[in-house]
Structure 1
Amino acid sequence: MVSRQSHDQAEQLDASARAAWARIWSSISPESQFLAWMDWIRHLALSPGKQEQLRQLAQKQWEQLFREWSQELAASAQQSLQTAQPAPTPAYTDRRFSDPAWDRWPFNLLRQTYQAQQQWWQSATEGVAGVEPHHQKLIAFGVEQWLNMLSPSNFAWTNPLVWDKTLAEHGDNFSRGLTNWQQDMQAQFAGEPPVGAQDFVVGKDVAATPGKVVLRNELVELIQYAPTTKQVHPEPVLIVPAWIMKYYILDLSEHNSLIKYLVDQGHTVFCLSWKNPVAQDHAFGMDDYIRLGWKASLDAVNAIVPGQKIHATGYCLGGTLLAIAAAAMARDGDDRLASLTFFAAQTDFSEPGDLSLFIDESQVSLLEAQMADEGYLRANQMEVAFQMLRSADLLWAPMVSKYLLGERLPLSDLMAWNADATRMPATMHSQYLRRMYLNNDLSQNRYPVQGRIVSLSQVNLPIFCVGTVSDHVAPWRSVYKLHYLVPSEITFVLTTGGHNAGIVSEPGHPRRKYQIHTRAAGTAPILVDDWQAQAASHQGSWWLAWAEWLKTRSGANVKPPQMGAAKQGYPPVGPAPGQYVLVK
């Protein structure tokens, strides 16, 4: 029999080996990728019908491309390249090729060839009988990354916009591009924020809404914002942001700060600011985030605004935590909440979206080994994952703009915030990945809080829930599944934009629109496609609808509460935005 000491030594050796392997592969499991490719190749080899379909598609595409090439060559033989009239081409929705310059020969042929490749590989990676669904998604995603990298828009000699810019400026664009590249590399190796971030100083240009830190513990600071109206709604608003990001996504510049908007609407607003963890914080788990984050903040708000129920709001991962906490409160008979609001927050992870591509047993095991070695998940790992989800827009297009065209677009407040990333402690992140993404415990009534199971079916509070059309992190159809888990009244909003830009959707923002519909408490939910077909459409910002929703669930206005409650143990300990948000 193997001794306990020998067993522990073997586990420690394995963990060290996996941690080293994770560093070599940038925490992307090669085993997971290999298994997916082998699954696809072997099943494709056993599908002669699928192979024949792909052969016929390739033949059809090459015949069509050859006809178009012949027509272009014939036209170019009669006219100069500058005056040649390209053959009629369909409208292209891919922004990389939407400029009219791509209609010129030979760039239109490059575009057509590339998009034919996209179509062929999409057909090749879909519909292969027997391939495990997760493997199929991994293969499609991997092919997409290679195609995005090899796009003709990414190379100076195949991009007409770069040609035109180079001829017009006699190559000065490349000189500026080299300078841009040097600046970016210097910032990256020095661990500095990207060029332009210096224009958005936390506490001055962003996260500048006046307030006081009224609670600080080993995990969170709680900020109470100063009133701007003579009277306020009696029920305070408590916001739980995700700890995967700095809280000030909700308090950007003065014109697009959701927190300032709420304060100006007469709400007493509190917001959590999570600590950016270090190696010593590795043992913080989900129960700690509920106890030290949610419960401690709830107690503080109750002390500062006594006798009033609270409008609780959660964003992204903070919304998932709020749902868990609300279920625990319902389980324990705690009725301190007036309502719940969720922004792009998932509670059912059966269809979690593109992030699930990076989450399987092999991948999580590798991450756990690396986090055990370092104590946390590094911020740049999440940044790379998010970039890969939209690599054409977030990775390659900016590189073309900065390094080939020599155009560095000014950083926006949202982009500067996005670069101000955070870490995640090892224990919490492991629990989150396993309990949510791998096991889907919350929706299956298996999630424990302080050792006891919670169920969302016990939550019976009015809910306002927001999903965004282009969300790659929390797809709106996944967010909608909350309808199947709670019996409450749910007002669901689907707004244009993505996971961040759809939430930062201030009144006056151009081209914003949303759909909204309320499901009455105790009634059966409608199917998601039926909801989309029936929900009323509105132009503008959903913030207005939420403000009205909160107003109708609030009492008559009263005088603003004091800042903090020193006698109850919550004196102001410093001005907003506090200390934790400044920790890199």
Structure 2
Amino acid sequence: MSENESQQAFTQMIKQLGQQMVDAGQLMQDNAERFWFNAQRQSLMMQEISDAITELSKNPQLLQQYQQQIFQALSEPSDSQVEKKDRRFQHEAWQQPGFAELKQLYLSFSQLTQQLFNDLPEQDAAKKQRQQFYIRQWLSAISPSNYLMTNPEALQQAQNTNGLSVLQGIQNYLDDMKRNKGMQNIRMTDLSAFELGKNIACTPGSVIFQNDLFQLIQYTPTTQKVAQKPLLVVPPWINKYYILDLQAHNSWVKWVVDQGFTVFMISWVNPDKQHKHLAFDDYMKQGVVEATNAIEQHTGEQAINAVGYCLGGTLLGCTLAYMKAKGDQRIQSATFFTTLLDFSDPGELGCFISEQQLDILEQQMAHEGVLDGRSLALAYNMLRENELHWSYHVNNYLLGKEPPVFDLLYWNSDATNLPANMHRFYLRNMYQENRLKDPSGITLDGTAIDISKIDIPSYFLSAQKDHIALWKSTYLGAQQLSGNVEFVLSGSGHVAGVINPPENQKYSYFTHPEISSSADNWLSAAQETEGSWWEHWRDWLKQHSGDSVAARAINDGKLPALEPAPGEYVKKKC
């Protein structure tokens, strides 16, 4: 670009930004209540850090040791004290004099500060975890990589583009603010690169049933014969179902259909204020039970298998206990993907469910009718803040670049709301009070729930690096059931550990036929197999799927096709 063209582009962008800043001011005014709730959360975070500092003041010896270590780090910064593989500082510009020392000093300070608060005598374990989490968030936020004047790569980019990168970064920030109504959800991919039903969520099928809560999709068979028992998939309603149906090369749904199974998928509605009354009971009775009824009516089969993913798995567990109490035996095997049934250790998610945090959240949900899915997405992203938040802050805002095209991140950005009534029940009874593991600990639709009565064959798939449903916590849930349980541990995390096609030849998985007294004992006795767990699960499912029958064409069923997959419910945005 010539200097004249650069000047013209600069002038044009300045004009556009002026109006957008005016719009941003109006946006903040229109969403004043949301900013107030966010300010309350920030105040709680600062109070937790203040409490940690107060506790530190009671340990002068530990504080003195820390001060000596900090002084040494400031006086003699050393590469041995830094994490050389930290992605924030991989650009060659960080090797320049001044910036290299700044990087080393920051990493030394961050490492020593986290260690200091880790070494504090344990008080209340939950409070200490919150303090450590918030201190880590603060340390991540003050990284010199996050600010234009202390990021040499961003300064180089500004110089190379004659300042256009800075203006483009401001533009990207204002666009995010407008799209997310003031929430700090940074765009993680090109949101125009995918269209549902075209190049994502495009496995052929039809919606064959719907009510106010969900649409039920049957996928078109690709084999001449299929297993007798249909397969019902219960995805989480925290996210949209198509994490299981991204593109042809990584679609779990397509792969399962190609293995000769008749697959039915629940596609939950993206709720708004009119759905605020929906309860957890409704997701069970109007959701899973109604879907089971529809499959029986459509296919004539009275026995099916079911899969539940994350919160969908928790709901499936509740439904199985409910159906057991009612004498309903139609679901004859269950698969749980990264599912918590025992919430004894929710990991860092527990940092968001202190009594004070829940009080603020419940006030906000009472005001808005739903929990905006974008705020929940931000909370999940902050569990891996440098990878899922600050890296995009640097790329989009400081460098003024576009994020890469990535189907998984498009799905991750396609948030769903949560009804206030349901979410309040879920957080209080599951995460905070952990009542699901107790016989009759919760009651749904007037029926006491006892997951220990679930005696059908079950398959638990968990992931070693899962930061949302810790695998040792999911193992506790597997121990609760009374039927035969197959526990499998995959590599990677909450999503990549599940969406791992065999063709990728990535990661590995661990198996062992017996559930032992502890997760560590199970793992020490388990056998590791390279590659994807998908084929292992397929072989397990076939044992519980009956004989082969002629493939079920959608139009041969009792229920008419209402519209092509993926249906309308999944297309609704927050």
- Name the structure 2 match of 1:202: 196
1:545 corresponding residue in structure 2: 536
User: Where does 1:251-262 land on structure 2 (aligned, <5 Å)?
Assistant: 251-262=245-256
| In 2: Cα distance, 1:100 partner to 1:459 partner | 57
Are residues 98 and 537 of structure 1, via their aligned partners in 2, closer, same or farther at CA, if it must alter by over 3 Å? farther
Relative distance call for 1:188 and 1:41 in structure 2 (3 A) is closer
1:555 pairs with 2:546: yes
Q: Distance in 2 between matches of 1:572 and 1:28?
A: 48
Q: Where do 5+ consecutive residues of structure 2 fail to align? A: 1-30
Matched, 1:57 2:69: no
Q: Give the counterpart of 2:449 among 440, 451, 454.
A: 454
Aligned mates of 1:68, 1:355 — CA distance in 2: 35
TM-score by length of 1: 0.86
Q: Say which SS state the counterpart of residue 487 (structure 2) adopts.
A: strand
Structure 1 residue 63, shift from structure 2 partner: 2.4
Deviation at 1:184, TM superposition (A): 5.0
Q: State yes or no: 1:150 paired with 2:142.
A: yes
Corresponding residue for 1:286? 280
The one-letter amino acid of 1:121's match is T
Q: Residue 102 of structure 2 aligns with which residue?
A: 110
| 2:78 equivalent to 1:66 | no
Superposition RMSD in Å:
2.6
Alpha-carbon distance between aligned partners in 1 of 2:38 and 2:131, rounded to the nearest angstrom:
19
Question: Which residue of 1 is the match for residue 7 of structure 2?
Answer: none
Q: Using the alignment, how far apart are the partners of 1:180 and 1:361 within structure 2?
A: 38
Q: Match for 1:319 among 313, 319, 338?
A: 313
Distance of 2:337 and 2:364 partners within structure 1: 31
**What is the correspondence of 1:4-23 to structure 2 with a 5 Å cutoff?**
23=35
Q: What number of residue pairs does the alignment pair up? A: 537
Q: Is the 8 A contact 2:206 2:564 kept in 1?
A: yes
Does the aligned pair in 2 maintain the 1:173–1:404 contact within 8 Å? no
Q: Is 1:178 matched with 2:167?
A: yes
Counterparts of 2:480 and 2:471, CA distance in 1: 15
Comparing 462-471 with 284-293, greater Cα deviation is found at 462-471
Mapped to 2, the partners of 1:103 and 1:510 lie a distance apart of 36
The residue that corresponds to 2:326 in the other structure is 332
Structure 2 residue aligned with 1:370 = 364
Give the alignment partner of residue 509 of structure 1, picking from 504, 518, 522: 504
- Out of 238, 243, 249, the residue aligned to residue 244 of structure 1 is 238
CA shift for structure 1 position 357: 0.7
In 1, Cα distance between equivalents of 2:253 and 2:350: 31
Counterpart amino acid of 1:553? H
Choose from 422, 429, 441 the match for 1:428.
422
8 Å CA contact 1:312–1:337 kept in 2: the answer is yes
Output the CA distance in 2 between the equivalents of 1:530 and 1:554.
31
Contact 2:222 2:257 (C-alpha < 8 Å) held by counterparts: yes
In structure 2, the residue matched to 1:476 is 471
Alignment identity in percent?
37
Per-residue CA distance 1:21-46 (angstroms, 9 max, x = gap)? 76503275456436534543443333
Task: Please give the alpha-carbon distance, in whole angstroms, between the structure 2 residues aligned to 1:276 and 1:253.
Answer: 22
**Aligned AA (2:128):** Q
Match of 1:33 in 2: 45
1:364–1:68 Cα change, 3 Å? closer
Tell whether 2:561 aligns with 1:572. yes
Mean CA deviation greater in 492-501 or 352-361: 492-501
CA 283–513 in structure 1, closer or farther in 2 if over 3 Å, else same = same
C-alpha deviation, 1:266, in angstroms: 0.6
Contact residue 229 and residue 305 of structure 2 kept, 8 A: yes
* Contact 1:177-1:404 at 8 Å conserved across structures: yes
Aligned residues of 1:174 and 1:403 also touching (Cα < 8 A): no
Deviates more, 1:266-275 or 1:479-488: 479-488
In 2, Cα distance between the equivalents of 1:355 and 1:467? 17
Q: How does 1:350-429 map to 2 (within 5 A)?
A: 350-429=344-423
- Structure 1 residue 105, shift from structure 2 partner: 3.8
Larger mean CA deviation between 458-467 and 328-337 belongs to 328-337
Q: State the Cα distance separating 1:321 from its structure 2 match.
A: 0.1
Question: Which one-letter code corresponds to 2:64 in the other structure?
Answer: R
Structure-1 residue corresponding to 2:492: 497
Q: Which residue of 2 aligns with 1:94?
A: 86
Deviates more, 1:470-479 or 1:525-534: 525-534
Residue by residue, what CA displacement relative to the aligned partner does 1:547-577 show, whole Å, maximum 9, x if unpaired?
122123222311012426765xx32211111
Q: What is the Cα deviation at residue 173 of structure 1?
A: 7.9
Shift of 1:483: 2.9
Instruction: Give the 3-state SS of the residue equivalent to 1:392 in structure 2.
Output: helix
- In the other structure, the counterpart of 1:9 is none
> Equivalents in 2 of 1:396, 1:262: separation in Å?
36
CA-CA distance at 1:207 after TM superposition: 1.1
Measured after TM superposition, the shift of residue 541 of structure 1 is: 1.4
Question: Which secondary structure does the structure 2 equivalent of 1:526 belong to?
Answer: coil
Q: Partner of 2:503: helix, strand, or coil?
A: coil
- 1:273 partner letter: S
Distance 2:454 2:370 in 1: 33
Whether contact under 8 Å (1:303, 1:565) holds in the other structure is no
Change in CA separation of 1:418 and 1:28 when aligned onto 2, cut-off 3 Å = farther
